[in-house]
Amino acid sequence: MDGTTDIGWVGFALSLTAVALAAGASWRLGLRLQRDILESSARALVQMLIAAAALGLVIGDDAPIALSWLWVAGIVLYAANAVRRRAPELPGIFPVALASTTGTAAVGLGIAFGAGIFPVEGKTLVPVSAMLVGNALKSGVVAATLLRDDLATQRDQIEARLALGLPSQEAAKPLTRRILRTSISPQIENIRGLGIVFLPGAMTGLILAGVDPLDAVLVQLALMYLILGAVVVTTTLTVLGARRRVFSSDHRLLPMARSVSDE
Amino acid sequence: MPLQFDHVTVHGAQRPRLSDVTETVPGKGITAITGPSGAGKSTLLRLGNRLIAPDEGTVRYRGTDLATLDVLQHRRRVGMVFQRPVVFAGTVRDNLRVAAPQATDAELQQLLDRCELHEDVLDRDADTLSGGEQQRACLARTLATHPETLLMDEPTSALDAQATHALERLIRQEAERGVAVVLVSHDPAQVDRLADARIALDRGHTRS
């Protein structure tokens, strides 16, 4: 690592002044966020050190690639469970979320590694998977919670359509279309603002590590396009998969009960 | 006998919403379903449109178990109007076209005329109609499927007196056209004005 990125422990410690500044501002403005700021910063430090140690084992030069794939499987499971935790009222949401996250990982990694954009090695597999699944997770959670909330508040709209003899997928179409648009739009805005509003993390990290800016931009763009695809795949599979489970086979909108999905 | 409820039970969170109800709705005229809140009136109506299924017992339409019928076709034959008008986003035309995508403007105007709505409302945003107009637009939307039976769940409960009388007149007209109407009502005066037959429920049971 060159001097640009080797900040060392002293450099790291100096960055904590920003945390102190944030906590101080919170105290001065009476926001009562000091404890949260300090706790979350400390927690991040511990988690990242553990992650660094674990990643050292998983993506080290001598580590078998199977370990990286195992890491990816863990990420996928975690993401599916996170969606379930946020919208437990949706019946059968865990298998739906697991299928959608797995599908997302399969499509995203298939393009990223199957098409040869990145070489198949731990150092690329783990971070690329984390970026894809991590972003897909955020969109999946948004989609699932919106679906849960809309099913509760828009039930009369759906049943009015069902009562006219529309099949369940047609009755739910206005709702699912709105949810998909809402869930996917932020990622489109992210891409739209790329290079103008913000310089994303991967690109910044590569430039800091001394990589040519054009090469860094190409890597970042490839990742952003993959993330966009991942977000679309996840939200679509989550919403359409969950939609199937909230209707009976004879086109009745089933009641949502916490006990059903908590089983 | 269009609708028959044969020993029907529907479970609820605390107690059955309907408990071993056996009733028959006549195939013509206006049948009122009466009873206090929580009696199971709306549940009985929703069973008729198959928006819910019985936990026990059988619901039949013209002698056939609803569980064996094509439910989408059944719902077009047995239309439903809800307690509060549920209009969809868009114009009244858009609303009617949800029920009848192939209908011509002339056919849509006939529906409006049948529900005493001026043809100008066809291009109006459904959200901008008054409560009474919205409920009549919902009735027109349901009639667009040419139902043989009309299930109406307290359709006048959110309307003022004038709009209520207008809707009651339409209900009577539809019955005279040969549409069997099943009307849930908690208003004894309305039941006296409209009903040809009555089914009384209380706490999920038939009241004799």
Alpha helices (runs of H) in chain B, residue ranges in sequence order: 41-48, 71-77, 92-99, 105-114, 131-143, 161-176, 188-194
Nearest CA in chain A to B144: A164
Q: How many CB atoms lie within 10 A of CB A66?
A: 10
Query: For B125-146, what is each residue's pLDDT tens digit?
Result: 999 999 999 999 999 999 999 9
Q: Identity (one letter) of the amino acid at B110?
A: Q
A228-242, A248-262, B20-34: range with lowest mean pLDDT: A248-262
Do residues A238 and A144 lie in contact, with contact meaning Cβ atoms separated by under 8 Å?
yes
Beta bridge partners of B190: none
Q: How large is the average pLDDT for residues A187-193?
A: 88
Q: How many CB atoms lie within 10 A of CB A130?
A: 15
Percent over 70 (pLDDT), chain B: 99
Query: For A2-48, what is each residue's pLDDT tens digit?
Result: 445 677 888 888 899 999 999 999 999 999 999 999 999 999 999 89
Q: pLDDT category, B85, cuts 50, 70, 90?
A: very high
The pLDDT, as a whole number, for residue B183 is: 96
- CA dihedral sign, ordered B15, B40, B164, A171: positive
Q: pLDDT category, A206, cuts 50, 70, 90?
A: confident
Mean pLDDT of chain A: 89
Residue A263 has pLDDT above 60, yes or no: no
d(CA B61, CA B121): 35
Q: Which positions ≥6 away from B166 have C-beta within 8 Å?
A: B116, B132, B136
Residue A261 has pLDDT above 50, yes or no: no
CA atoms within 13 A on the CB side of B61: 23
From chain A residues 243-262, the ones with a CB under 8 A of any chain B CB are: 248, 250-253
Query: Between chains, do B142 and A164 touch, taking CB under 8 Å as contact?
Result: yes
Query: Between chains, do A253 and B51 touch, taking CB under 8 Å as contact?
Result: yes
The pLDDT, as a whole number, for residue B198 is: 94
How many angstroms separate the first and last alpha carbons of chain B? 20
Query: For A141-178, what is each residue's pLDDT tens digit?
Result: 999 999 999 999 999 999 999 999 999 999 999 999 99
* The two structure tokens encoding residue A213: 């800016």
Interface with chain B: mutation pick from A156, A168, A250, highest number of B CBs within 10 Å: A250
d(CA A84, CA A95): 9
Out of B53, B74, B86, the one facing A160 most closely (by C-beta) is B86
Nearest CA in chain B to A167: B72
CA distances from A84 to A25, A179, A238 (A): 36, 17, 11
**Percent helix / strand / coil, chain B, rounded to 5:** 40, 25, 35
Do residues B126 and B137 lie in contact, with contact meaning Cβ atoms separated by under 8 Å?
yes
d(CA A145, CA A141): 6
Mean pLDDT of chain B: 93
Do residues B90 and B41 lie in contact, with contact meaning Cβ atoms separated by under 8 Å?
no
C-alpha B135, offset from chain centre = 11
Q: Identity (one letter) of the amino acid at A181?
A: R
Q: Identity (one letter) of the amino acid at B156?
A: T
Q: How large is the average pLDDT for residues B143-170?
A: 91
The pLDDT, as a whole number, for residue A5 is: 60
d(CA A56, CA A61): 9
Q: Identity (one letter) of the amino acid at A249?
A: S
Among residues B86, B54, B85, which one has the least CA distance to residue B67? B54
Scanning the structure block, which residue is given the tokens 């996840």?
A234
d(CA A199, CA A206): 11
Query: Between chains, do B49 and A250 touch, taking CB under 8 Å as contact?
Result: no
Beta bridge partners of B60: B4, B65
Q: How large is the average pLDDT for residues B63-74?
A: 96
CA distance A89 to chain B (A): 16
The pLDDT, as a whole number, for residue B1 is: 62
Beta bridge partners of B33: B184, B199
Scanning the structure block, which residue is given the tokens 């379930």?
A84
Q: What is the CA radius of gyration of chain A?
A: 22
State the pairing for strand pair B197-202/B30-34. Answer: parallel
The pLDDT, as a whole number, for residue A257 is: 61
Query: For A47-69, what is each residue's pLDDT tens digit?
Result: 899 988 888 888 888 889 999 99
CA distances from A135 to A58, A105, A228, A233 (A): 22, 11, 9, 11
Query: Between chains, do B52 and A167 touch, taking CB under 8 Å as contact?
Result: no
Question: By CB neighbour count within 10 A (0-12 exposed, 13-18 middle, 19+ buried), where does B32 fall?
Answer: buried
Query: Between chains, do A165 and B73 touch, taking CB under 8 Å as contact?
Result: yes
Q: Identity (one letter) of the amino acid at B1?
A: M
Q: How large is the average pLDDT for residues A130-150?
A: 93
Q: pLDDT category, A81, cuts 50, 70, 90?
A: very high
Scanning the structure block, which residue is given the tokens 């828009």?
A154
CA distance A168 to chain B (A): 10
Beta bridge partners of B197: B31
Query: For B86-125, what is each residue's pLDDT tens digit?
Result: 999 999 999 999 999 999 999 999 999 999 899 899 999 9
CA distance A15 to chain B (A): 52
How many angstroms separate the first and last alpha carbons of chain A? 50
Chain A positions touching B51 (Cβ under 8 A) are 159, 162-163, 252-253
